[in-house]
């Protein structure tokens, strides 16, 4: 029996169909985030598998077989817990690929909402992944009719720079922990983190200001860098801490801060706003001895803080209601009503204890207004200055004041 030969014409036609199928697949491929770029090796393999064999790549099949861990030691992963089941799967796949610094990797979903929510949750939960969040483009490649995609996060730093930044992070952590008092409770640890970051970081916009590299490597950052660093420190200290993004009320300006859990109650912590020496009147900011940490944003009164900032609606965050850990409440410097002699006695007590900064706040606008009228407008603070002269045997003293009207707080520096 003779073997039948495959006609050359049909063979060529078959090859043309394969090529046409590949070209069609390429033309249908969509990049849903960022600019277009050249087709990669993994994309070529995916196109070939789809066109010739009409099946998923082997890597995608293996991903579908993996179990999804519900927790990870050392990380709170608050936002992970808010995700739906499919979003949690994508979150874990992203986390693995980003940690391994893969240029591209498969996800077992092609849905925009699923991928976006998972990616945003990863960014909020893992500040230590500083190399993926600094204005770099992110690419997503999807395929018509297929429920998987290629994800290409943009990486900011070289491997050598990553090592340098991680070394700076570790040095910063060791410096900070050395400042924590012996037998300190969680509040004291949070306060130490707050103070350390304010003392070692300058609020400056730069190429690294959105992440830990700005704070620990360049010592310059904006709100996102401060808030991610608070989260990074507190997670290592075992204190639940959430990174929060939102906006300033009445404007389009964005902001980032933290929510921490202390003794079963949630509190706001905003290290960025604790670093603003320019609030002092006149030329006081020029004096090094007058640089002071503003503790008004360490566990501030929740209603006062929410008058300034609103959290994003993408994910819900815990409600803050407690005031027990407010700096002024803890230090008997918060007054519900205004009483001239009570406030004067408080100022004397602070000076007697060696304070160069006397600060206090009021819980009501009415009390604050009364104090402002008498102590600032009518210069009652001169009476405290006279006591300072007697206390230290001086003939003259220069003092300055600072006001945080939104927090109903007054500062006097001698």
Q: What is the mean pLDDT of residues 84-106?
A: 97
pLDDT in tens, 100-129: 999 999 999 999 999 999 999 999 999 999
Residue 33 has pLDDT above 50, yes or no: no
Residue 12 has pLDDT above 60, yes or no: no
CA end-to-end span of the chain, whole Å? 111
Nearest C-alpha neighbor of 240 from the set 389, 81, 350: 81
| CB of 230 closer than 8 Å to CB of 214 | no
- What is the C-alpha to C-alpha distance for residues 325 and 392, in angstroms, rounded to an integer? 33
Give residue 387's pLDDT: 95
At the topology level, CATH places domain 159-330 in C8orf32 fold (3.10.620)
Give residue 88's pLDDT: 98
Q: What is the mean pLDDT of residues 166-177?
A: 98
Q: Which of 45-49, 105-109, 403-407, 410-414 has the lowest mean pLDDT?
A: 45-49
Hey, which of 128-142, 231-245, 249-263 has the most confident mean pLDDT?
A: 231-245
Give residue 45's pLDDT: 62
Give residue 42's pLDDT: 63
pLDDT in tens, 291-342: 578 899 999 999 999 999 999 999 999 999 999 999 999 999 999 999 999 9
Residue 57 has pLDDT above 70, yes or no: yes
Q: What is the mean pLDDT of residues 123-145?
A: 88
Give residue 249's pLDDT: 86
| CB of 90 closer than 8 Å to CB of 113 | no
Higher pLDDT, residue 50 or 224: 224
Could you tell me what percent of the chain has a pLDDT over 90?
71
Higher pLDDT, residue 397 or 173: 173
Residue 76 has pLDDT above 70, yes or no: yes
Q: What is the mean pLDDT of residues 82-105?
A: 97
Residue 209 has pLDDT above 50, yes or no: yes
Residue 143 has pLDDT above 70, yes or no: yes
Could you tell me what percent of the chain has a pLDDT over 70?
83
Higher pLDDT, residue 183 or 135: 183
Higher pLDDT, residue 56 or 292: 56
């Amino acid at each position: 029996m003779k073997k039948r030969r495959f006609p050359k014409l049909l063979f060529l036609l078959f090859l043309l169909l394969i090529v046409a199928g590949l070209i069609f697949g390429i033309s249908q491929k969509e990049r849903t985030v960022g600019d277009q770029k050249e087709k990669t090796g993994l994309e070529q393999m995916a196109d070939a598998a789809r066109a010739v064999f009409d099946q998923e790549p082997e890597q995608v099949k293996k991903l579908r077989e993996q179990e999804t861990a519900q927790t990870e030691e050392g990380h709170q992963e608050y936002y992970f817990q808010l995700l739906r089941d499919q979003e949690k799967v994508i979150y874990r796949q992203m986390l693995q690929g980003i940690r391994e610094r893969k240029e591209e990797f498969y996800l077992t979903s092609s849905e925009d909402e699923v991928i976006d929510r998972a990616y945003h949750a990863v960014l909020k939960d893992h500040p230590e992944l500083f190399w993926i969040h600094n204005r770099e483009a992110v690419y997503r490649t999807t395929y018509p009719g297929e429920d998987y995609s290629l994800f290409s996060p943009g990486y900011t730093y070289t491997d050598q720079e990553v090592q340098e930044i991680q070394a700076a992070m570790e040095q910063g952590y060791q410096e900070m922990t050395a400042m924590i008092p012996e037998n300190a409770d969680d509040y004291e640890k949070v306060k130490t983190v707050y103070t350390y970051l304010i003392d070692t970081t300058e609020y400056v916009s730069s190429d690294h200001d959105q992440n830990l590299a700005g704070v620990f490597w360049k010592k310059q950052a904006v709100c996102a860098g401060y808030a991610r660093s608070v989260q990074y420190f507190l997670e290592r200290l075992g204190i639940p801490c959430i990174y929060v993004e939102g906006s300033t009320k009445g404007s389009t300006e964005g902001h980032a801060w933290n929510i921490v859990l202390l003794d079963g109650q949630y509190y706001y912590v905003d290290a960025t706003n604790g670093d603003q020496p320019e609030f002092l009147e006149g030329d006081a900011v020029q004096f090094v001895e007058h640089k002071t940490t503003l503790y008004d944003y360490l566990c501030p009164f929740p209603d006062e803080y929410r008058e300034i900032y609103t959290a994003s609606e993408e994910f819900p965050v815990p409600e803050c209601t407690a005031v027990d850990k407010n700096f002024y409440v803890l230090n008997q410097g918060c007054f519900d009503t205004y009483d001239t002699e009570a406030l004067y006695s408080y100022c004397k007590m602070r000076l007697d204890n060696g304070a160069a900064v006397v600060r206090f706040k009021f819980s009501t606008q009415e009390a604050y207004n009364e104090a402002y009228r008498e102590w600032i407008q009518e210069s009652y603070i001169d009476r405290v200055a006279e006591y300072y002269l007697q206390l230290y045997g001086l003939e003259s003293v220069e003092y300055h004041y600072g006001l945080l009207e939104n927090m109903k707080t007054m500062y006097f520096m001698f």
